[in-house]
Amino acid sequence: MAGLCEGRVAIVTGAARGVGKENALLLAKCGAKVLVNDLGGAVDGTGADRTPAQEVAEEIIAAGGEAAVNGDDVSSWDGAKAMIDQAISTFGKLDILVNNAGILRDRMLVNMTEEEWDSVIQVHLKGTFAPSRHAAAYWRGQSKEIDGPVSGRIINTTSTSGIYGNVGQTNYGAAKAGIAAFTIIAARELRRIGVTVNAISPSAYTRMTDSLREYTEEEIEWRHPRWVSPTVAYLASEEAHDLSGRIIQAGGGMVAVCEGWRRGAEMEQLADPAELGPKIREMCEQARNNSGMDGEPLD
Active site residues: 159, 172, 176
The packing angle between helices 18-29 and 229-236, to 10°, is: 50
33-37, strands of its sheet edge to edge: 67-70, 33-37, 9-12, 96-98, 153-157, 196-202, 247-251, 254-258
Q: 3-class DSSP state for residue 257?
A: strand
101 vs 19: CA distance, rounded Å = 10
Cα 18 to chain centroid, rounded? 13
244 vs 299: CA distance, rounded Å = 32
Q: 3-class DSSP state for residue 95?
A: coil
